[in-house]
């Protein structure tokens, strides 16, 4: 495990500088400490094929140690086992479990899709949240899972099939145009937007942060606004939407929401889940502070989540 000082030296200097501009020194130290080494492997039980008791029984028999998650009964934190080890198990091969970061499980829980609803997952690959929502809906209803990249789209199809999520239709296309094509069609929309991925940075793994740049952040912020506009257009009046990213900067998070309040008239709601390492969003607009940011830690990737309602 690296020290905070070592982490600071390894990560892009401008990224670290931006952290100090946005957070208190103590919070920055916590963020950097959360990027100091490998994170625990975490999984979600696929309730379309199994249940938490069955999976825990299998893990106990195999001597794999785990902890439960207070805010999600179908999630487990593995104490020592790595992803490669888990991928060899029958419960992984048959789709009874899905290896997924804890933070990634939060947006579907906040959106809370119900049976027989129509749901849009605007940027869906590789399908972690899409298949989670199908399980929450007990395979009743309809999910349109959209993905622009053709290769990632194939991965999405593979995961959807493996998880037995039969209510999902996969679409390979631009998310920016779906709002016009499916105007006011969906009860709920998930926009887990393409982002600079700062919440996933690990100082021990250069490929997690090598491609980061200020220019990329600015370009992504523009794309996020276009996607949010399309998602909002596709949502019914009274419908709910979740906007999320796995990044930490304000440009891709709070500033996108501030823009959307003025441009689209979005309303932001409180998030009822009590999650460790969660802090309120940072904004002079009080409504935006209802969104939450999950700080990186040994158990969680950094994430940003906002719950919106169309009124």
pLDDT digits (tens, 9 = 90+) for 166-191: 999 999 999 999 999 999 999 999 99
How far are the Cα atoms of 48, 143, 283 from residue 146, in angstroms, in the given order?
Answer: 22, 9, 31
Q: Which residues belong to the active site? A: 246
pLDDT, tens only, 246-298: 999 999 999 999 999 999 999 999 998 999 899 999 999 999 999 999 999 99
Cβ-contact 14, 279 below 8 angstroms? no
Which pLDDT does position 242 carry in this prediction?
98
Q: Are 304 and 244 in contact (CB under 8 A)?
A: yes
Look-up of token digits 């309120």:
280
Give the per-residue pLDDT at 200. 98
Domains and CATH numbers, the chain: 102-309 (3.40.50.150)
What's the confidence (pLDDT) of residue 278?
A: 96
Which pLDDT value is given to residue 1?
A: 82
Spans of the chain, pLDDT less than 70 = none
**Helix 214-234 with 254-264: angle, nearest 10 deg:** 40
Answer whether 143's CB lies under 8 Å from 167's CB: yes
Query: Cβ distance 43 to 99 under 8 Å?
Result: yes
Q: What is the 3-state secondary structure (H, E, C) of the chain?
A: CCCHHHHHHHCCHHHHHHHHHHCCHHHHHHHHHCCCCCCCCEEEECCCCCCHHHHHHHHHHCCCCEEEECCEEEEEEECCCCHHHHCCCHHHHCCCEEECCHHHHHHHHHHCCCCCCEEEECCCCCCHHHHHHHHHCCCCCEEEEEECCHHHHHHHHHHHHHCCCCCEEEEECCHHHHHHHCCCCEEEEEEECCCCCHHHCECCEHHHCCCCCHHHHHHHHHHHHHHHHHHHHHEEEEEEEEEEECCCCCCCCHHHHHHHHHHHCCEEECCCCCCCCEEECCCCCHHHHHCEEECCCCCCCCEEEEEEECC
Enter the tokens of residue 270: 């409180």
pTM of the model: 0.97
- Distance between CA atoms of 20 and 22, rounded to whole angstroms? 5
| Nearest CA among 87, 1, 68 for reference residue 38 | 1
Distance in angstroms (rounded) separating the CA atoms of residues 35 and 3? 10
221-227 long-range contacts (CB < 8 A, ≥24 apart) are 221/251, 221/252, 221/255, 221/256, 223/193, 223/194, 224/193, 224/194, 224/195, 224/252, 224/256, 225/256, 225/259, 225/260, 225/263, 226/176, 227/122, 227/123, 227/175, 227/176, 227/191, 227/193, 227/194
């Amino acid at each position: 495990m690296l020290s905070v000082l070592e982490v600071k030296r390894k990560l892009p200097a401008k990224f670290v500088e931006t952290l100090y501009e946005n957070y208190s020194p103590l919070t920055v130290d916590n963020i950097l400490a959360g990027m100091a080494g490998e994170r625990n492997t975490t999984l979600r039980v696929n309730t379309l094929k199994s249940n938490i008791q069955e999976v825990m029984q299998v893990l106990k028999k195999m001597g794999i140690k785990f902890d439960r998650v207070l805010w999600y009964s179908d999630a487990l934190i593995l104490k020592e086992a790595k992803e490669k080890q888990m991928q060899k198990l029958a419960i992984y091969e048959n789709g009874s479990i899905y290896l997924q970061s804890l933070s990634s499980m939060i947006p579907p829980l906040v959106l809370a899709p119900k049976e027989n609803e129509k749901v849009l997952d605007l940027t869906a690959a590789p399908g972690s949240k899409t298949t989670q929502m199908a399980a929450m809906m007990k395979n009743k209803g309809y999910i349109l899972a959209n993905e622009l990249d053709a290769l990632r789209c194939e991965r999405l199809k593979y995961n959807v099939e493996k998880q037995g999520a039969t209510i999902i239709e996969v679409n390979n296309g631009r998310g920016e145009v779906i709002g016009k094509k499916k105007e006011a069609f969906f009860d709920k929309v998930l926009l887990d937007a393409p982002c600079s991925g700062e919440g996933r940075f690990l100082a021990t793994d250069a490929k997690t942060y090598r491609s980061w740049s200020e220019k990329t952040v600015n370009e992504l912020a523009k794309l996020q606004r276009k996607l949010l506009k399309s998602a909002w257009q596709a949502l019914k009046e009274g419908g709910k939407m979740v906007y999320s990213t796995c990044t930490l900067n304000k440009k891709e998070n709070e500033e996108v929401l501030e823009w959307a309040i003025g441009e689209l008239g979005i309303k932001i709601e409180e998030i009822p889940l009590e999650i460790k390492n969660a802090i309120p969003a940072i904004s002079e607009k009080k409504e935006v502070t209802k969104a939450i940011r999950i700080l990186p830690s040994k158990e969680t990737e950094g994430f940003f989540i906002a719950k919106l309602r169309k009124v």
